[in-house]
Amino acid sequence: MGKSIAVSQNLENIITDIAEVARILWKLGWAESNAGNISVNVTEHIPEDIRELNKFPSNEIDKNYPELSGFSFFITGAGTRMHDLAKEPSENACILRISEKSNRYHILWGKKSGLDFEPTSEIHSHLSIHRFLLEKKAPQKVIIHAHPEELIALTLVKEYKQESKLNRLLWSMNPAAKIIIQKGVGLVPYCVPGSDELAQATIKAIEKHDVVLWEKHGCLAIGADVLETFDRVDILNKAARTFFTCKSAGFDPEGLSDAQLDELERLFWSKK
């Protein structure tokens, strides 16, 4: 086992929120088996000058991230389960710092802080998105990937493989979706999970959206904090579930009218 940094109260609070969201994701069935992953840019909570950095365990990444050199991220582990993360964050996640060589990282925290620990298989998507957010000086620091059933189900329906129709449906099923998810959702056509193709397609989608659906796979959301990010997915899946509930009962849901959606936009979007 390697060294481990001391965790500040602010960082401890972030980890507590991550554990709570992990518990909810598991309870909702949005993270079956070892599905789902979370990462947070925690650089501001890590001492800039860590003495004897080389004494912390390190590993290589099969890609360079020079723009992230010196940045630190909380990230869930490969093969870990959300219900285990909820109970023991330090056993199922780590805080890693990208080294100056940019294709290596040092594990700064986590009881599994050894060479046998591997971050999520979606690490390239996470790091690529964090790099994009930093380049844009965006306020979002959190990435959550999960498998909410109803949202995934919508990506299997040919009619809703168009972003305009998909967003019109989701907004019309739940006023909160129209009020809070003002950018709507982006839709990424199917890509192999963990691939660079998926990472690049996701980055293109989040240029305009805070939530992205991966066709036939899952959902990815970004936000300023863990709870806000989860709420976005929760609100959208509630809208999708409302739609399927009506359909399963044999009814075609009416949803909010264009006039009602315009009213919400006028009343709430102008305040942002």
Q: List active site positions.
A: 122
Burial class (CB in 10 A: 0-12, 13-18, 19+), 72: buried
Task: Find, among 174, 146, 169, the residue nearest to 230 by Cα.
Answer: 146
22 three-class SS? helix
Map tokens 């086992």 to a residue. Answer: 1
Per-residue buried b or exposed e for 108-124, using 16+ beta carbons within 10 Å of the residue's own CB: bbbebbeeebebbebbb
Q: Provide the token pair at 9.
A: 């109260």
CB–CB of 222/143 below 8 Å? yes
Evaluate whether 199 touches 125 at the Cβ level (below 8 Å): yes
Cβ neighbours of 15 (radius 10 Å): 21
Read off the DSSP letter of residue 79: T
> What is the 8-class DSSP label of residue 35?
-
Tokens representing residue 166 in the block: 């998909």
**Beta carbons of 130 and 139 less than 8 angstroms apart:** no
